[in-house]
Chains A and B, each alone.
Chain A
Amino acid sequence: MDPPVSSQTNSSDYYDEDDSAFLEALTTTVLPGDIVQGDDEISSPEVSQELTPPPPSQPFLKRTRLEAFAERGKSAQVDRAADDDVYGASHFGEFGEYMRRKRAKLQIQNADIEENAGSGSKIFESLAIYINGYTQPSTQDLRTLITKHGGVFQPYLDKKSIVTHIVTCSLTAAKMREFKHMKVVRPEWLVESAERGVLLPWRNYIFTPNERSEPTLGSTIKQPNLLDTSTSSPATRVRKNANSPFNTPVKQTGERHLKGAVTPVIKNPPPLYQQPRKDTPRNAFPTERLSRGQIDTKIAMLPSKLAPPQQVTDAKKVVPVYAADTSNPLATRVMANPDWRKAHTSVAPDFIEGFYKNSRLHHLSAWKAELKNLVQEAQERAETIGTGELVGRIKSEVNGESAGVSMRGAELVMKSPGKSKGKEKAVDDRVIMHCDFDCFFVSAGLVSRPQLRGKPVVVCHSQGGPSSTSEIASASYEARSFGVKNVLDKLGNFVRPSSPSLTSLRGEYKQLSLKFYTILMNHADDLQAVSVDEALIDVTSVVMQLRSRGSQDPAAVDSAKDFAEMIRAQVRKATGCEVSIGISHNILLARLATRRAKPAGSYHLVHDEVKEFLAPLNISDLHGFGWSTKQKAQEKLGTATLGELMDKSKAVLCDVLGKSTGETVYNALRGIDDKKLESDKPRKSVSCEINYGIRFENSEQAEVFIYQMAKEVAKRLDDIGMVGRSVTLKIMKRDPTAPVEPPKFLGHGACDLYNKQISLIGPGGRATSDERVIGEHAYRILRSFNFDPKELRGIGIQIQKLEKPSSGGTGVKQAVLPFRSAPSPKKPMPPPAAPQIHVHPPSDDIPQPVEQESSAKAQAVDLPSFSQLDMEVFNALPNDVRKELENEYQRRSTSPFVAGPAPAPAAPARLAGPIRKDIFPKNIVVKGPNYQQIVRQQRPWNRPSISPAKNPLFKKKARAGASKLSDAALQKLNIDPEVFRGLPPALQHEQLTMLRLIKERGKIPSPPSKRKVLKPRKRKPIPAHLLWRAPAPQARWVTPPILRQQGKQKKEKFFFTETGDIQGAIEGWMNTYRRWAPKEKDIEFFTKYLVASVDGEKHTDVGVERAVAILKWWLVLLRRYWGGSEYVDDEGYMDPSQGDPVGEAWWKAFRETKEKMDVVARERFGGRLSLR
């Protein structure tokens, strides 16, 4: 038997989808079974939902949509009556109850907050906010903020549809995925919205995953309290905090503001520098508390060159505009303008010059290179001259403008001739000093602006509004104490009315630098120029001398330190600037010591202190180890502090950080550094790299730019008189995830880096500095990357394997065969920037080289050039053939074109071919076109590869040898060979077959008739009348019991089956016998019908239903007419209506009927019928 289909279905399959309109109607409709909502319930439905568990007897009430939850926070009236429930003790195992109460309590708290601190502001009214994880300000503060402004704070995220926004400062990857479709914002949104009193668009504050507020995972940060008066929300903080020096708004500087996020940095300076700092800037320059007036006057005083950074409070603009969007809208807008693009991006013709004129980093590196050269030269000179001159002098003073950026022309004189450079000494006995200017650019600037001393000063590249992305080159210690961190900070975050362009101070910087180096040279055994303002010197011998000469107790006096102070004094005297000097026995430690020496001091890190000194430091504090090393150490070793890393074995470090890095770190941890001063390190490479303003639209622009860069590189190579053997192209390509316009104006943003190196082969296979060759190579690499030029953000060309042009001896090189063809050296290859060459029409008088080539190519396919001909063979040719050939060659020699509509007149220059005109007499007549075949026969067989078309192996098999048949064979078949040969091959074949058939069989078989298609026969259905089928199963309907009634007339009968009819009959009966007791016969008549109806066996349950309905109607009528006669038997409660016999008779009839029905019903269902 078939199981019913239902057996496979799931329970839920029986239900259709929710129909929203229907559901809506349903919620408003009161259904039977609902308990009517009282007014009190309607007034605060949310509260009752929240605070009390839904009573089980109200099925519909608790089923209102979840959205109702979102609004519950609005209701400030909390039903205090529910407090008992909320604050009661939880029962064991009732976790749900606990949580429910907790939520309720939280909402009550929220309501309290709103009552107490209610600001009347309703800006967050429609929001339901969930706060995830650590935030700044803290969750509690945000919660207060939210509820204060009418929002709903959601403590839990179990119902995502309730929450409109998620506020967070950091998200785990898993949560990022989870909240992918939700509105995740930073807390600034709330804070700033609250400050402004309007709900700011949340889109400006979308949380982007990489902005992690905490620096490392493990570290704990004290959450600043929003409610603290000292550090409330950024704006109020500034407003209220009277102690802050920059609390007062500066009017004329407009809308500039220190970003709130910088504050913690200001508050917690790294502890390393605090302790030993003898004279902090606050002491050195007595702390100035600037009032508004002071600042105003200061700014007025300034010659608009350097100015202190100021915080400006402006509630309307807290975050710099550019930071609000990851993509720089300004740049995007401006890039849309093609003219602007042309003028300012890499497309501009003078872009590279402009770039190098303005790039600070370029100046620094250029100076450094020059300094190194100077140092090197000085050393060389010292070695060769061998005289110890104690005073360095600057041979030619640089005169500000004319010398430009260069330091060339200056000369340093090395002090020590003896090659006791300290390199040979035991490593530990060395005395290395690391000398570093204190905020060099600022100090240099202050030399000529003494009035600014002690003020917060920054130096940066360009002036600009708060949206400036210019980086701060240097900041005075005063400025640093206000949160200007270092070069990494964008200028736009800080405020200054105007600032000098770096170039205007160039001269000063250079002079200072030269003076500084001169002094160092005087004292150093060896010197390594680190940068313009920083140098490493080896002063071992001097200190030794001092030590031996000095006191008997070396511990008491640190001669190295004394010496350092001396140097400092000299520098101060010469330059007016402070240097800091760190002293130790190797470079690494000297560098670290300098950090402690700063500002304006010196520090000697001696052997015994090394360990303690290193322990608290971070690995990234070490020179040469940066963020990535720190990350690696943090990830894999769990720590980045040197003290803890010290316990790790060398193997572990090598494993984690890589072999060489690990080893270096291992040594560095123990204060060991074998590195030597690189005073005479030769230049290894020359490069040019631009990653600012690179915006190409097509590859032509990129190509032009590459050639321009190649020119720049070539210029630099020429400057140092070197040639290179290898070229590397560095490409920065926009990271696919990064915005097209990065935050930094025209900057490169997040990029993927690509490098490719190829050997640079100049003419003759030599090393070269030729700009065109470099450009070609570089562009070839770029092409091989196959990048979309629009995606390029940075291009660098680096030339390695430098050598002196003279030293690159040709003897080493491979001999180069003089095979180089085509362009004569006088005619350089057309630069790619001039593609218009190709558009000359071919009819030009002067044939273009390009066309020349094409003609040569065309020649190659038919005739070898005359010089290639074997003259013996040529002469052996039959006369006419030879003449043809000669004629052809002559024709060619007169015209460069093989074939052309209008053969151009021969240009005299082109006549200088290998073939001379006079070889061929002019009167040779061309006879036929078959000279080509002859020449082809002459040509040596020089096709090494087998073309499939030509190779018989791959050829289509020839048809039955039709064409191969000899004439005799054809004639045998009665075919005229001439006619036959004239036929196309297919016909030939057909004819042959036919003839052969006739020959063999004597006749041609008739072709087969048209193909018959076989199809399955259609089955004719058997007509219905021929088929006998079993009759369909018939539904069985039980006839309902019928109440037959005699009509008024004879033989007239009524048949009642429908409920209403029978009810009507009963009503008529009762109305008729209103005054009398019912007749037995009538009672029996109805009873019989009803009892029959109730009998489900006979008349189905529909009958039962009907009988009950009739009985109920009878009861209704009885109660209407003789209600007093009813009694409730069980209670013994008797009707007091004394003796209404008619009524009692009717009731009795009713009861008896019902009892009879009950008996029948009991059989089927048990019990009795209910008439309720």
Chain B
Amino acid sequence: MRLGGPAFHSLNETRPVGNHSTEHDVRMPEAPLTFNQTVKGVTEFIEVAVHTILYVRQIYPADLFIRRKKYDTPVFQSRHPALNAYISGAVKAIGEELVKGTVDKVVVVIKDKEQVALERFIFSIENMVQVEAFNKDTRWALYREGPSKRNSKTYSIEDAMSSRSLGQYFRSFLVKLSMAESQLGPLNTEGDPSFAIVLELKDNAVPSAPRPTEPAPWIPANAQDTTPGAADDAELQMIRAVNTGIINLSLAVQESGAKLQREKAAMKAKKAASAKPLEVVEPEKPNP
């Protein structure tokens, strides 16, 4: 694995700052997050990460993407309006579920042209606090500090992470995500990969509709795209995780059993091809 410049390396080593700090900076970036801020931050990050995944895994030609800057790190964003609309629509729906705290996982499934899931990028989400609706934008900590600070309309959740350090975490997510590509095997998709965004809710939860008269924007997923449907030999790499104290988020990539088997078969064939001309006959030995 080749690491980038020292700048990126040091970023990976960033220690969590916000976890145990009890002092509350008056400046907004250092102030603890509010619930809605966190939801917004997470959905935003999911959207950015989806774009990055599509780019990193080359689901679409690289020409389609434009390099932008987000979380102080280079990211790649699709320029295709239809694709962007799909992603932002899905992320919007995720955000709606996220507010309710019913989301368990958001999965970006990479599939080959036979719709066989090859890789699953799993955003695992855990709501740590339940906040009443009227408090979702409340910044309590500041309120206590006196009337002079009260002009600020938002008051955050006590003891939560600051939005600045959340941004730094997200940066590390994205950097590690681009690095993960080197550890994942190449996608042998025969040129026609596709992807899907799967939302996994907690038990007994159903996706909500924006209005009672309208259907929810979700349809039931394919079994193999879901976590229960994952084969036992699928392998999971944890990319990064963060605890905000409000919503805990982690990103992992799971290579499906189908993909690993294909890789093994390919490796075997390659080995056989390279081994043949040598004609080395190995003595048979019993397995230990």
Cα distance A1162–B230 in the bound complex, in angstroms:
9
Given known pairs A1021-B147, A1035-B158, the reply for A1167 and B238 (CB within 8 Å) is no
Max chain B CB contacts within 10 Å: which of A1024, A1033, A1037, A1169?
Answer: A1033
Chain B residues near A1031 (CB, 8 Å)?
140
Asked whether any CB of chain A lies closer than 8 Å to the CB of B241, the reply is yes
Given known pairs A4-B43, A1032-B157, A1169-B235, the reply for A1038 and B250 (CB within 8 Å) is no
Asked whether any CB of chain A lies closer than 8 Å to the CB of B248, the reply is yes
| CB of A41 to closest CB in B, whole Å | 16
- Write out, one digit per residue, whether chain A residues 1029-1043 have a CB within 8 A of any chain B CB (1) or not (0): 111111111100000
| CB of A1104 to closest CB in B, whole Å | 5
Chain A residues near B179 (CB, 8 Å)?
32-33
Chain B residues near A1104 (CB, 8 Å)?
238, 241, 250, 252
Q: In chain B, residues 135-149, which have Cβ atoms closer than 8 Å to a Cβ of chain A?
A: 135-138, 140-141, 143-144, 146-147
Partner of B100, one of A1, A11, A1034: A1
Asked whether any CB of chain B lies closer than 8 Å to the CB of A210, the reply is no
Is B4 within 8 A of A29, CB to CB?
yes
Is A6 within 8 A of B43, CB to CB?
yes
Is B70 within 8 A of A16, CB to CB?
yes
Is A10 within 8 A of B40, CB to CB?
no
State which of A17-25, A361-369, A545-553, A758-766 sits at the interface with chain B. Answer: A17-25
Cα distance A1033–B137 in the bound complex, in angstroms:
11
| CB of B114 to closest CB in A, whole Å | 19
Cα distance A1135–B232 in the bound complex, in angstroms:
26
Given known pairs A6-B92, A57-B58, A1024-B147, the reply for A33 and B36 (CB within 8 Å) is no
- Write out, one digit per residue, whether chain A residues 1-42 have a CB within 8 A of any chain B CB (1) or not (0): 111111101111011111100110010011111001000000
Is B135 within 8 A of A1033, CB to CB?
yes
Asked whether any CB of chain B lies closer than 8 Å to the CB of A1168, the reply is yes
Given known pairs A1-B100, A1102-B243, A1167-B257, the reply for A1162 and B4 (CB within 8 Å) is no
Is B63 within 8 A of A1167, CB to CB?
no
Cα distance A1034–B99 in the bound complex, in angstroms:
17
Is B99 within 8 A of A1170, CB to CB?
no
Chain A residues near B285 (CB, 8 Å)?
1134, 1136
Given known pairs A6-B95, A33-B181, A1134-B285, the reply for A54 and B248 (CB within 8 Å) is no
Partner of A1165, one of B62, B144, B249, B252: B252
Is A1035 within 8 A of B159, CB to CB?
yes
Is B183 within 8 A of A1172, CB to CB?
yes
Partner of A1168, one of B40, B236, B287: B236
Asked whether any CB of chain A lies closer than 8 Å to the CB of B201, the reply is no
Is B182 within 8 A of A32, CB to CB?
yes
| CB of A770 to closest CB in B, whole Å | 80
| CB of B253 to closest CB in A, whole Å | 9
Is B234 within 8 A of A32, CB to CB?
no
Chain A residues near B195 (CB, 8 Å)?
none
- Write out, one digit per residue, whether chain A residues 776-805 have a CB within 8 A of any chain B CB (1) or not (0): 000000000000000000000000000000
Cα distance A7–B77 in the bound complex, in angstroms:
18
Is B62 within 8 A of A59, CB to CB?
yes
Chain A: CB-nearest residue to B210:
A3
Partner of B157, one of A11, A32, A1021, A1035: A1035
Cα distance A1038–B245 in the bound complex, in angstroms:
8
Asked whether any CB of chain A lies closer than 8 Å to the CB of B47, the reply is yes
| CB of A67 to closest CB in B, whole Å | 15
Is A1036 within 8 A of B238, CB to CB?
no
Cα distance A872–B258 in the bound complex, in angstroms:
135
Cα distance A2–B88 in the bound complex, in angstroms:
18
Asked whether any CB of chain B lies closer than 8 Å to the CB of A830, the reply is no
| CB of B158 to closest CB in A, whole Å | 4
Asked whether any CB of chain B lies closer than 8 Å to the CB of A978, the reply is no
Is B3 within 8 A of A32, CB to CB?
yes
Given known pairs A32-B3, A1104-B238, A1167-B231, the reply for A1034 and B182 (CB within 8 Å) is no
Q: In chain A, residues 35-68, which have Cβ atoms closer than 8 Å to a Cβ of chain B?
A: 36, 54, 56-59, 62-63
Is A18 within 8 A of B68, CB to CB?
yes
Asked whether any CB of chain A lies closer than 8 Å to the CB of B255, the reply is yes
Asked whether any CB of chain B lies closer than 8 Å to the CB of A1164, the reply is yes
Is B88 within 8 A of A1100, CB to CB?
no
Is B129 within 8 A of A1035, CB to CB?
yes
Cα distance A469–B236 in the bound complex, in angstroms:
86
Asked whether any CB of chain A lies closer than 8 Å to the CB of B165, the reply is no
Asked whether any CB of chain B lies closer than 8 Å to the CB of A1069, the reply is no
Chain A residues near B255 (CB, 8 Å)?
1170
Chain A residues near B146 (CB, 8 Å)?
1024
Asked whether any CB of chain A lies closer than 8 Å to the CB of B240, the reply is yes
Is B68 within 8 A of A1034, CB to CB?
no
Cα distance A1030–B132 in the bound complex, in angstroms:
11
| CB of A844 to closest CB in B, whole Å | 80
Chain B residues near A1029 (CB, 8 Å)?
140, 143
Cα distance A719–B62 in the bound complex, in angstroms:
88
Tell me the interface secondary structure of chain A in the complex. Answer: loop
Q: What size tier do the contact residues of chain B reach?
A: 35 or more
Asked whether any CB of chain B lies closer than 8 Å to the CB of A1127, the reply is yes
Given known pairs A33-B178, A1164-B124, the reply for A1038 and B67 (CB within 8 Å) is no
Chain A residues near B116 (CB, 8 Å)?
none
Max chain B CB contacts within 10 Å: which of A14, A1032, A1136?
Answer: A1032
Asked whether any CB of chain A lies closer than 8 Å to the CB of B229, the reply is yes
Is B128 within 8 A of A1036, CB to CB?
yes
Partner of A30, one of B4, B99, B242: B4
| CB of B14 to closest CB in A, whole Å | 14
Chain B residues near A1036 (CB, 8 Å)?
128-129, 245-246
| CB of B271 to closest CB in A, whole Å | 9
Cα distance A1006–B37 in the bound complex, in angstroms:
66
Is A1100 within 8 A of B240, CB to CB?
no
Given known pairs A11-B77, A1164-B124, the reply for A1101 and B250 (CB within 8 Å) is yes
Is B131 within 8 A of A59, CB to CB?
no
Is B241 within 8 A of A1105, CB to CB?
yes
Max chain B CB contacts within 10 Å: which of A15, A17, A56?
Answer: A15
Is A1033 within 8 A of B241, CB to CB?
no
Cα distance A29–B73 in the bound complex, in angstroms:
13
Chain A residues near B166 (CB, 8 Å)?
none
| CB of A1004 to closest CB in B, whole Å | 53
Chain B residues near A1037 (CB, 8 Å)?
19, 128, 159, 243, 245
Chain A residues near B68 (CB, 8 Å)?
15-18
| CB of A1058 to closest CB in B, whole Å | 9
Asked whether any CB of chain A lies closer than 8 Å to the CB of B133, the reply is yes
Asked whether any CB of chain B lies closer than 8 Å to the CB of A1132, the reply is yes
Asked whether any CB of chain B lies closer than 8 Å to the CB of A293, the reply is no
Cα distance A1105–B5 in the bound complex, in angstroms:
24
| CB of A154 to closest CB in B, whole Å | 20
Asked whether any CB of chain B lies closer than 8 Å to the CB of A1166, the reply is yes
Chain B: CB-nearest residue to A1040:
B243
Cα distance A5–B99 in the bound complex, in angstroms:
11
- Write out, one digit per residue, whether chain B residues 208-223 have a CB within 8 A of any chain A CB (1) or not (0): 0000000000000000
Asked whether any CB of chain B lies closer than 8 Å to the CB of A417, the reply is no
Chain A: CB-nearest residue to B156:
A1032
| CB of B102 to closest CB in A, whole Å | 11
Given known pairs A4-B43, A62-B62, A1035-B159, the reply for A14 and B235 (CB within 8 Å) is no
Can you list the 10 inter-chain pairs with the closest CB atoms, starting with the nearest? A1032-B140, A1167-B234, A1166-B230, A1035-B245, A1101-B250, A1170-B235, A15-B68, A1101-B241, A1035-B160, A32-B179
The 16 listed contacts between A and B (C-beta, < 8 Å) are: A9-B88, A11-B87, A18-B68, A23-B74, A32-B1, A59-B76, A1032-B158, A1033-B135, A1033-B157, A1035-B160, A1035-B246, A1037-B19, A1037-B245, A1102-B248, A1165-B227, A1166-B227
Q: Which residues of A are interface residues toward B (Cβ below 8 A)?
A: 1-7, 9-12, 14-19, 22-23, 26, 29-33, 36, 54, 56-59, 62-63, 1021, 1024, 1029-1038, 1096, 1100-1102, 1104-1105, 1108, 1127, 1130, 1132, 1134-1136, 1161-1162, 1164-1170, 1172
Query: Apart from A16-B69, A63-B62, what 6 extra A-B contacts exist at CB < 8 Å?
Result: A33-B178, A54-B62, A1024-B146, A1033-B129, A1102-B242, A1105-B240
